[in-house]
Amino acid sequence: MKITIKKGISHALVLGALVLAGSGCDDFLVEPDRSNFTLENYFTKPEHAESVVNSIYENLRSTTGGGFGGAPWMMLEFATGLANTDLGQAQNSINIRNLVNNSDNDYGSAYWTSSYRGIANANLAIAKIPEITMNESRKMQLLGEARFLRAYYYYNLVRIFGEVPLLTEPVDLNSPELYPSEASVEEIYNVIVEDLTTAEASGLPFTDETGRVSLGAVKSLLSSVYLTMAGYPLQKGADYYQKAADKAAEVIESGEYELFTSYDDLHSEAKENIEENILMVQFEPFIMPSNWQTSIIPYNKGISEYSDETGAIYANTDFVESYEPGDKRTKEKEFYYTEYSLSSDRTKTVNLGGHFIYKHFDPLAHLQTTSSGLNWTLMRYAEVLLIYAEAMNEVSGPTPEAYEAVNKIRRRAELPELGGLSQQQFREAVWREKWHELSYENKTWFDMARLRKAYNVTTGNFEDFVGHQFSYGPTLQERELLFPIPTAEIRNNDKLTQNPGY
Domain residue spans in the chain?
Answer: 1-202+456-502, 292-371
Nearest of 444, 86, 58, 57 to residue 294 by alpha carbon? 86
pLDDT at 37: 56
Q: List b or e across 110-124, with b for residues whose CB sees 16 or more CB atoms inside 10 angstroms.
A: bbbbbbbbbbbbbbb
Q: Print pLDDT tens along the chain (502 aa).
A: 444 443 322 333 433 333 333 333 333 333 344 445 566 678 999 999 999 999 999 999 999 988 899 999 999 999 999 999 999 999 999 999 999 999 999 999 999 999 999 999 999 999 999 999 999 999 999 999 999 999 999 999 999 999 999 999 999 888 888 899 999 999 999 999 999 999 999 999 999 999 999 999 999 999 999 999 999 999 999 999 999 999 999 999 999 999 999 999 999 999 999 999 999 999 999 999 999 999 999 999 999 999 999 999 999 999 999 999 999 999 999 999 999 999 999 999 999 999 999 999 999 999 999 999 999 999 999 999 999 999 999 999 999 999 999 999 999 999 999 999 999 999 999 999 999 999 999 999 999 999 999 999 999 999 999 999 999 999 999 999 999 999 999 999 999 999 999 9
Q: How far apart are CA 84 and CA 90, in angstroms?
A: 12
pLDDT at 502: 97
Q: How far apart are CA 22 and CA 241, in angstroms?
A: 43
CA 29, distance to chain mean position in Å, is 24
pLDDT at 21: 39
Q: How far apart are CA 486 and CA 264, in angstroms?
A: 38
Q: How far apart are CA 440 and CA 450, in angstroms?
A: 17
Kindly state the helix (H) or strand (E) to which residue 19 belongs, with its residue range: strand 17-19
289 to 29, 51, 370: CA distances (angstroms): 12, 21, 9
Q: List b or e across 145-165, with b for residues whose CB sees 16 or more CB atoms inside 10 angstroms.
A: bbbbbbbbbbbbbbbbbbbbb
Would the pTM of this model clear 0.85, i.e. be above it? yes
Q: How far apart are the first and last CA of the chain?
A: 45
CB of 132 within 8 A of CB of 46? yes
pLDDT at 7: 32
Q: List b or e across 475-486, with b for residues whose CB sees 16 or more CB atoms inside 10 angstroms.
A: ebeeebbbbbbb
CATH class for domain 1-202+456-502? mainly alpha
